Amino acid sequence: MLLFPDLTTLDLVGPYDVFVKAPCFEVLLVGESTDVIRAEGGLLLKPSVSLQDCPQLDILFVPGGKGINELLTNSNVISFLQEQAKKAKYITSVCTGSLVLAAAGLLDGYKATTHWRSIELLKMFGVAVQDSRVVRDRNRITGGGVTSGIDFGLMLTALIGGDEMARIVQLQLEYHPEPPFHAGSPQTAGLPVLQRTKELTQPMFNLRKKIIQDLLKGKKQDI
């Protein structure tokens, strides 16, 4: 699981807590270095291994968050993902982590998804975006926004450890959701909430779009 500054904590910890409770996984937390990093909101996390010292992983996982803006053009991280992906059995992400996979070319020719706000940005990479909470296309598994990571984690557990294991973990996590509102998707949130949320996230959207445009321009020039 990749750690980086300004990641969205719940993108990481939704699947992490599933993996920790499922005996079919061994979790490794990988950072550019093992220095403490600051996640969104200030939570301080310490990676257990650096990119350089990381062994070959069976499952690559990239969470999302504000910090992916920097990753999109971070050649250390992109090269790491590209190298690991050659032998990894599954290549996965939650939320805007899929934009990083796309920037590394790892979603070329695959169906995938991302946070609803970033669907348009994922399409810019030419990815066949599919409107589902979790999308599996062969060995690529991508989750939608933040909390979809719990659904993703349980799905991957079922795939690797079997349905019974996934059900046991779901019960341990008491994942019997009762959201107080019916507002968790653009389709259900209602227009005023959707518009306000779009407004609030517009500066980040614009900035990210610009980074991706520049990145794609650069790639074309390389060819």
The alpha carbon of residue 217 and the mean position of all alpha carbons in its chain are separated, in whole angstroms, by 24
Write out the binding residues for its own copies, residues 190-219 only, by CB under 8 A.
190, 192-194, 196-197, 200-201
Query: Which residues inside 151-180 make contact with its own copies, applying CB under 8 A?
Result: 151, 154-155, 158, 163-164, 166-168, 170-180
**Which residue, 167 or 217, is less far from its own copies as judged by CB?**
167
Who contacts 209 (Cβ-Cβ below 8 Å, separation ≥6)?
120, 121, 124
For residue 17, state whether it binds its own copies (rule: CB under 8 A): yes
Considering the candidates 18, 57, 95, 127, report the single residue annotated as catalytic.
95
> Please, are residues 90 and 58 in contact by the beta-carbon 8 Å criterion?
yes
* CB nearer its own copies, residue 105 or residue 184: 184
The amino acid at residue 109 is: G
What DSSP designation does 63 have? -
Taking the complex as a whole, the smallest distance from the CB of residue 178 to its own copies amounts, in Å, to 5
- Residue 162: which residues within 8 A CB-CB, separation 6 or more? none
Per the structure block, which two tokens stand in for 26? Answer: 């061994």
Does 55 interact with its own copies (rule: CB under 8 A)? no
Q: Taking a C-beta distance cutoff of 8 angstroms, is the pair 9, 23 a contact? A: no
As given in the structure block, the two tokens for residue 8 are: 């969205």
Residue 24 is among the residues annotated as catalytic for this protein: no
Contacting positions for its own copies (CB under 8 A) = 8-10, 12-14, 16-17, 19-20, 27, 29, 36, 40-48, 95, 115-116, 133-134, 144-148, 150-151, 154-155, 158, 163-164, 166-168, 170-181, 183-186, 188-190, 192-194, 196-197, 200-201
Question: Mind telling me the catalytic residues?
Answer: 95
